[in-house]
Structure 1
Amino acid sequence: MRKLKNIVIAFLVVAALMGGGAMGYLWYSTKQQVDQIVATAKPFAEISYGGIAVSPAGSVGVNQLRIMPNFVNDAVSIGAIKLNAPNLLALLKIRWQLSQGQLPRALSISFQDVELPLHGGILGDAPASATKPSPLDHLNALGCGPVTAFGGAELQEMGYNHFVGNAEVGYRLDTVHNLLEWRIDSNTRDWMTLNLDIGFAMPAPPTTLMDLTALATPKLAKFTLVIRDDGFNSRRNSYCAAKAGKPINDYLADHVRLVIERLRANGINPGPGIIAAYQLYLREGGELTLAATPAAAINPAELPDYKPADVIKLLGLTLKVNNTAITDLTVDWDATKVARALGVEPEPVAEDTPSPVVLEKPVIIQKSFHPIPVGDLGQHIGKIAKLKTNTGVNYRGQVDAIVEGIIRITLRKSGGSVTLSLRASEITAAEVLY
């Protein structure tokens, strides 16, 4: 028994020494890197810090930072910046993995107690920009009397002297479900909390940075955005009502009306449900949750090819305000008007150079479209089909695959092609060319 006890004690001592050595290595290497960054930034900013901290749970960081940019009379204080890994061993491997071009399984960076003063040069009133503002800018200031935008002076009038907040950005590889999951969490005291969770489907989990950059346009598998009001709505409502010389309810009615008019004038027409959700969030604050759970992962670049109603169905969008589900998510938009409002010029489509025509004796093959049951489309993979949805939209293209009730069809367009995902349950008629 004594021998076993001695072995256990020896094991614990060795483990403690190894852990202490690992933490010492992380502390020393991190301090070297931080000192190098401070020296490199010297021409642009004065940076000071209190110390380096290493946690056995798998994080390393720098505490009590103070950053004073040379170009403004201001300073940023940060309680801590930390690099976080699942555990201490994973943290030790990160530098080696990155040097070898490998992708760590999970990684995040967090910023704690970031303090920005409103009266300084960073968040204070900036000089007017020479760029022409978009008509979709500063919608939150509509109806606020003479105020057209919320700058440092307006926010100070609302009662803010400085912003104090926390943020964390990170990713995780889910190799079981072939997902790359990104998460952003942030909160600003007396302002707002934001949580964003996005999942992208991959054909196979990337193991190197090259694998990640070589991926084609990622396909959206899930999306959740949660916004919680932590006091800004109430302050803004009281401030703008006073500026407009109206009761709060009258200001809110004018604000919502002006926002809708501005959106509609620029190609965006929200339905009654979305308008009601916006009104409820403005009046009561609380929490707003937007989620997407598509039946099959979809390329976001394909969405402009769908009607707005089909986009909502394909993404499986849901919207809640304070746990009250908004059942009417109707919305319409004019992509050309929206692009014009945002100042986005469409890229010219290059015309393909026609191939030389080789005259051969024509072989005449008579083909025509034949109606078939939607359930039989799987027997015609690779053929051209005409599909009609229950919303009246018609699609013509090549049937690529049918997976779990989702029909993949490639449409040929000028300058290229696009592959769409349609729910079989929403196809009312199908014809196949043969």
Structure 2
Amino acid sequence: MASKTGSRGKRGGSSIGPAIFWVFTRLVLPLGLIYAVLWWRTGVAIDRQLDSLRPFMDIRRGGTVLGLNGDVGIRKLVIQPQAGSPMPAIRVTADRAVLRTPGIFWVLRSAIFGVPDEIPSRFGFSLSGAGVDGPPEALEAAMLGGHVMFPFELAGCEPGLTLEVANALGLRDAEGNFALTMEYGGADHLRLRIESETPGQATLSGDINLSLGPAGNPSMRLLTAGFESLNILIQDQGFGGRRNAYCARKLGISPQEFVARHVEAVRAGFAADGLVPGAAMDQAYTGFVRDGGKLTILARPLRPGPLAQLQEVGLDGLGLFVDATVKHNDDFTAPLVFLPADQFASTSPAAATGAQDAAAVPAVAAAEAPAAPADATADEAPAPGTEIAYDDLPAHLGAAVEVSTSLGTVRRGVLTGASSISIVIKLAPEEGGFPLSMPKYNIVKVRLAPPLTETPETQENAQAQ
């Protein structure tokens, strides 16, 4: 009996080898062959596309990229104009250039049956380790402006980016990474994401969230998509400090003086377009220029509507449709508004000095608001329902208010900021509880309101905004 049991054990152990062989021959090997064929077909398809460009461009590439996550592309890409081309003789290189797809099975299905009509769950493209090289004269001719997607890069210092400036700022040999991706999460929600990085200089990332239109043709659903939110983050990784130091040396002034000169130049640029920026210029942006760090811009619609309606709206009209804010690092959130220069000049105390001088006046911060007299009594405080003149609003920071607008809406919340061109209220809990910036030209009437049902921020915190 013992020998029979041992015999069975040996037979059971010997069955592992055939099982492994079966898995390898029936599963691993076929999948490997499919991947190899797909990898080969991908390389052939890429070469076919590149061949159509070779009469105009000298294109060289390394290996083929075919990731399980759906990345399809090439390594070690080099592109430059053919000899005799009128284009600058610059050479564009990239470590990786890929098309982003939902996954390898999507690629396989597309290769066999064609690209599906439905919106893919993931689609986009990316460049990694991208750079530009060539003779100095060719690089100089190719310098068209910005390089690191930094806001208002050289305002107040240089009219544009030259090879000399690029060398001084460490951009001559800088390589960048860029990606644009569309992600469809189902439930009619679509996110467009952009990512740009120049290591050691700056990064920019942003999301636009959309709600797709009614079911039907994918193209029409995209055209009728509604705007849900915008989130942009710009992070300084050293470019700002190098720019400030370079421009200060060039102009013979201190870096602090250049910061003021730069901000004035940006204001002048807006004034040339007939615009006056709001508190964001004097608060969040100035801090970002001076100290670096992060600059965050958020926006959400005041009411649901298609994204297409914003395409032809100027900056001075965005306040009618969008609540936008800007923040430097973890400081207070400032309203991001732009006013027409003529409207600002006709409605502000600074009209006599012109829109440009008005733009240079910092917003009235809460810390500058006049404090109530120490001997004031409760009987002297205005009662709810009392109308407050716009110019008197800084004296009522921290108070509950009702704001009637030219759009026919009435907003209720705590007044947390007031300047000559806009106010900020923290909406009542039943209205969302988030900060809302409101430009002056939209405000018809402001009244004091009864205290909110939820305890608001303390006046000290309100004044910090």
- Quickly name the TM-score band, shorter chain normalised: 0.5 to 0.7
* 1:62 aligns with one of 65, 74, 77: 74
Q: Secondary structure at the match of 2:161?
A: coil
Q: Distance in 1 between matches of 2:79 and 2:135?
A: 16
- The aligned residue for residue 209 of structure 2 is 199
- The aligned residue for residue 372 of structure 1 is none
- The aligned residue for residue 110 of structure 1 is 126
- Given that 1:27 and 1:52 are in contact with CA atoms closer than 8 Å, whether structure 2 keeps it comes out as yes
Matched, 1:155 2:166: yes
Task: State the Cα distance separating 1:74 from its structure 2 match.
Answer: 2.2
- The aligned residue for residue 50 of structure 2 is 38
Q: Which amino acid aligns with 1:142?
A: A
Q: Distance in 2 between matches of 1:118 and 1:269?
A: 41
* 2:219 aligns with one of 186, 189, 212: 212
Matched, 1:393 2:406: yes
Task: State the Cα distance separating 1:125 from its structure 2 match.
Answer: 3.2
Q: Which amino acid aligns with 1:24?
A: A
Q: Distance in 1 between matches of 2:144 and 2:108?
A: 47
* 1:291 aligns with one of 298, 307, 321: 298
For the aligned residue pairs, the C-alpha RMSD in angstroms reads 3.9
- The aligned residue for residue 98 of structure 2 is 82
Percent identity of equivalent pairs: 23
Unaligned runs of 5+ in 1: 130-137, 338-388, 397-403, 407-421, 427-434
Q: Which amino acid aligns with 1:201?
A: S
Task: State the Cα distance separating 1:203 from its structure 2 match.
Answer: 3.2
Matched, 1:22 2:34: yes
Q: Distance in 1 between matches of 2:143 and 2:17?
A: 72
Q: Distance in 1 between matches of 2:207 and 2:111?
A: 26
What TM-score comes out, normalization by structure 2 length?
0.63
Task: State the Cα distance separating 1:75 from its structure 2 match.
Answer: 1.1
Q: Distance in 1 between matches of 2:59 and 2:403?
A: 61
* 2:184 aligns with one of 173, 191, 198: 173
Task: State the Cα distance separating 1:187 from its structure 2 match.
Answer: 0.7
Matched, 1:142 2:155: yes
Q: Distance in 2 between matches of 1:330 and 1:84?
A: 36
Q: Distance in 2 between matches of 1:308 and 1:6?
A: 71
- Given that 1:114 and 1:164 are in contact with CA atoms closer than 8 Å, whether structure 2 keeps it comes out as yes
Q: Distance in 1 between matches of 2:314 and 2:152?
A: 25
- The aligned residue for residue 243 of structure 1 is 250
- Summarize the Cα distance change of 1:13–1:391 in structure 2 as closer, same or farther, 3 Å threshold: farther
Q: Distance in 1 between matches of 2:189 and 2:314?
A: 27
Matched, 1:273 2:280: yes
* 2:141 aligns with one of 102, 112, 125: 125
Q: Secondary structure at the match of 2:140?
A: coil
Q: Secondary structure at the match of 2:72?
A: strand
Q: Which amino acid aligns with 1:203?
A: G
Q: Distance in 2 between matches of 1:304 and 1:36?
A: 37
Q: Which amino acid aligns with 1:104?
A: P
Give deviations 1:244-263, integer Å, cap 9, x for gaps.
11011011112212321332
- The aligned residue for residue 399 of structure 1 is none
- Summarize the Cα distance change of 1:324–1:221 in structure 2 as closer, same or farther, 3 Å threshold: same
- The aligned residue for residue 5 of structure 2 is none
What TM-score comes out, normalization by structure 1 length?
0.67
Task: State the Cα distance separating 1:78 from its structure 2 match.
Answer: 1.1
**Structure (1/2) with the larger strand percentage:** 1
**Structure (1/2) with the larger helix percentage:** 2
- Summarize the Cα distance change of 1:42–1:280 in structure 2 as closer, same or farther, 3 Å threshold: same
Q: Distance in 2 between matches of 1:335 and 1:231?
A: 38
- Given that 2:46 and 2:73 are in contact with CA atoms closer than 8 Å, whether structure 1 keeps it comes out as no
- Summarize the Cα distance change of 1:95–1:255 in structure 2 as closer, same or farther, 3 Å threshold: same
- Summarize the Cα distance change of 1:123–1:171 in structure 2 as closer, same or farther, 3 Å threshold: farther
Q: Distance in 2 between matches of 1:125 and 1:264?
A: 30
- Given that 1:97 and 1:103 are in contact with CA atoms closer than 8 Å, whether structure 2 keeps it comes out as no
Aligned pairs, number: 338
- The aligned residue for residue 362 of structure 2 is none
- The aligned residue for residue 356 of structure 1 is none
* 1:10 aligns with one of 22, 31, 36: 22
Matched, 1:182 2:206: no
- Summarize the Cα distance change of 1:246–1:56 in structure 2 as closer, same or farther, 3 Å threshold: same
- Given that 1:173 and 1:205 are in contact with CA atoms closer than 8 Å, whether structure 2 keeps it comes out as no
Q: Which amino acid aligns with 1:16?
A: V
* 1:234 aligns with one of 213, 238, 241: 241
